[in-house]
Structure 1
Amino acid sequence: MEIIDIAEPFAGCRDRFFARSVGTSFAVRASTDITEIDLYDQIGTWGVTARDFKAKLKDAGDITLRINSPGGDVFAGVAIYNDLVAHKGKVRVEVTGVAASIASIIAMAGSEIAIADNAFFMIHNSRTFAAGTSEELREIAAVLTKIDDAMSRTYASRTGTGIRSIKKMMDDETWMNGKEALEAGFATEITKSTEAKAKFDLSVFASMPEALKWPSADDSEPETERDLERAVMQDAGWSRSKWRAAKRIIKPNDEPLQDAGKVDLTALAAAVQAVSATFKH
């Protein structure tokens, strides 16, 4: 596997790609033999950054990376892929829900790539939101073309499929279930079906499978602390310091909140009032 050489043409905070998500987490469990990483979030500023991921690799040996991610920031994803390729230990990837967009490139870093029978791979062309002069837009289009070329070579090298076929799959926004991913060379084995621990609103994609449609509004409330943090920072416009202040008020008995289990929202209203009063100018 080769490093993907793509220079980021600009820096700064990006808009979030996926409006809603529940059950997200980024967890690491290390033992003497193996480090297990759960990448159950989008990639980039609003989820798992390349810096955060790289920090988890520092003392890791062999890795089992479980992926349930809709993708996100292509440059962050490429950086994560490159760090995994350069990692000295063995990397096993297990797709437990969805590995879409740049998350499917991250999956290509595994020497073994397992996918659950009911999970999905998705590959497509890169996209962005842009505004500017005709010259500026041509430059952006050239960058997207370079990204697509690099990703298609990575897919082709890993799967043994020809570049033309891969590019056609990317043009068509191709979704593959476990069996199809195995047959196409994107996975090396199929594992038993599993219930995904995180769900994402994938309506930004044109050909999303019916099985991955966002649940009804009644089922879309935050499930983890990570979900709630994202909600108040993105949708309510809170800063991280404001969120931390609210967390200190909400959490019971001074016990630390975790990234798993239901979030107790009974004290949220009081916390919002208290923090809002504190931060008023």
Structure 2
Amino acid sequence: MSLRKLPEIEAGRLPTVCAFEPDADALERWNAGLSPKAQGENTITILEVIGEDFWTGGGVTAKRVAAALRAIGSQDVIVEVNSPGGDFFEGVAIYNLLRAHPNKVTVRILGLAASAASVIAMAGDEIQIGKAGFLMVHNAWVIAMGNRHDLADAAATMEPFDDAMATLYADRAGVSKAKAAEWMDNETWFNGEQAVEVGLSTGFLPADAVTENKAKAEAMSGVNATRRIDARLAKTGMPRTERRALLADAKGGTHDAALTVKHDADAIAALVSGLFKS
């Protein structure tokens, strides 16, 4: 599929009473230690959450991808993806940047392309996925607070966005939009073989194209534990500022501290247990 035939996705920002959060299940399945074995000057890596990451100060933003594309110039681009997703609107912005690139874009799913990262993956002329990799699609979900008008505004903003995503997945896979919407409604996970079979990927990634940094995966495990708890608490309706203040308190007041010490993890677990019992 040529980039010139890919649709641009238009999506306005959500009302300020809303916020996107990464999917807790995707965070749990994400192996942050996976990366490309080799990369050239025309490579863009998407190996973190999508959007600015509160917990690490990192994250993949449209601004960063735009700068990388400017540096690459008129060359073919390889996009290495291993991400649990994150901010859907940031993912849409990155997708639109890649689809507008004048040369070939090859997306390589090293481990996981979930949620917003799966949107980005659809920008590839060629989409390769590891046989042990996963691609996940679902409806956009947000944490929304406010009065009935705020919530109505949030729903009105999300409806055409989900419709655009269904169209994108349907066009890529060659299925009806109703089928793609069913995938999204069911939060569907495709392994490598399934992604190729249904048409969301064009082929397999060579087995020797991926390397695993176990030290990095271990170092990130504590941060991901915090992210997962944050995502679970978000589904209870707790405001973002309150969630993150509580989690920072449980880690000694440092929001970007990693949960690598057992008593920190125990403190978080005790905190969450108490919240659900109250």
Superposition TM-score tier, normalisation by shorter sequence = 0.5 to 0.7
Query: 1:171-190 alignment to 2 at 5 Å?
Result: 171-190=185-204
Alignment correspondent of 2:148: 134
Cα deviations by residue, 1:56-78 (Å, 9 ceiling, x for unpaired): 11121211111111110001000
CA distance in 2, matches of 1:120, 1:22: 11
Structure 2 SS opposite 1:222: helix
Cα deviations by residue, 1:128-168 (Å, 9 ceiling, x for unpaired): 00111112111111112121111111111122111000001
Q: Give the fraction of aligned pairs with identical amino acids, expressed as a percent.
A: 36
**Aligned residues of 2:81 and 2:113 also touching (Cα < 8 A):** yes
Q: How far 1:9 sits from its partner (Å)?
A: 3.1
Alignment correspondent of 1:39: 46
**Aligned residues of 1:152 and 1:166 also touching (Cα < 8 A):** yes
Structure 2 gap segments, 5+ residues each: 1-5, 54-58, 228-246, 261-278
Q: How far 1:45 sits from its partner (Å)?
A: 1.1
CA distance in 1, matches of 2:130, 2:155: 35
Structure 1 SS opposite 2:157: helix
* Bigger helix fraction: 2
Cα deviations by residue, 1:190-229 (Å, 9 ceiling, x for unpaired): 1344667489xxxxxxxxxxxxxxxxxxx974259x99xx
Structure 1 gap segments, 5+ residues each: 200-218, 244-264, 266-281
> AA paired with 1:9?
L
Alignment correspondent of 2:234: none
Alignment correspondent of 2:14: 9
CA distance in 2, matches of 1:198, 1:41: 14
Q: 1:56 aligns with which of 48, 51, 68?
A: 68
Query: 1:165-204 alignment to 2 at 5 Å?
Result: 165-193=179-207, 197=212
CA distance in 2, matches of 1:51, 1:149: 25
> AA paired with 1:2?
P
Number of equivalent positions:
216
CA distance in 1, matches of 2:211, 2:181: 29
Q: How far 1:17 sits from its partner (Å)?
A: 2.9
Q: How far 1:102 sits from its partner (Å)?
A: 1.0
Q: TM-score, length-normalised on structure 1? A: 0.66
Alignment correspondent of 1:222: 219
Alignment correspondent of 1:89: 103
> AA paired with 1:37?
I
CA distance in 2, matches of 1:198, 1:101: 24
**Aligned residues of 1:123 and 1:175 also touching (Cα < 8 A):** yes
CA distance in 1, matches of 2:67, 2:39: 13
CA distance in 2, matches of 1:163, 1:183: 17
CA distance in 2, matches of 1:62, 1:13: 37
Bigger CA radius of gyration = 1
- Alpha-carbon distance change, 90 to 37 in structure 1, aligned in 2, over 3 angstroms: same
**Aligned residues of 2:12 and 2:157 also touching (Cα < 8 A):** no
Q: CA RMSD in A?
A: 3.5
> AA paired with 1:86?
A
CA distance in 2, matches of 1:193, 1:77: 27
Runs of 4+ in 1 over 6 A off after TM superposition: 18-22, 24-28
